[in-house]
Structure 1
Amino acid sequence: MDNIFIERLWRSLKYECIYLHAFNGGAEVRAGIRRWVDFYNRLRPHGTHAGNTPREVYHGCLPLSGPGYRPVLQAADRAA
């Protein structure tokens, strides 16, 4: 079960980056993968994260309420 996440990442990388571009050499491949990973983490919404990017989830840049989001804090919680 723990491999499913990394296998999904590799599948996305292959179908969204590698198979779509004709890279000429290792430097181009590295640059292309670097751009794709940046896109994947910063811009591409993920269904698992309720349509948010991994960056938004990791850094906690989410609204305070809604399905799949952090809970709304009560006034007493905010004061603490």
Structure 2
Amino acid sequence: MERKLVLLLTYLLVSIGLLTAQISRVTGIVKSADDGEPIIGATILVEGTSMGTVTDMDGKFEITNLPSSAKTMVKTTTPRHA
């Protein structure tokens, strides 16, 4: 009985580790190619999904819970920076 409990707990811990290893977080800064200034309000999408975000006042963005199958991100809009 004790051995079954240890095996069950080991299985659960390994499963949790595998699940969390498949989800990640991506951060970055979008800057203008012309002058290197951050771009405010640029839309960033994960290609092939409905996941995305918008850059903040410093041009920074963060996308969390990104599946491991996600490979490409796309900047979809280029608003005028301040």
TM-score when scaled to structure 1?
0.37
Structure number with higher relative contact order (C-alpha < 8 Å, ≥ 6 residues apart): 2
Larger fraction in strand: 2
Larger radius of gyration: 2
TM-score when scaled to structure 2?
0.37
Larger fraction in helix: 1
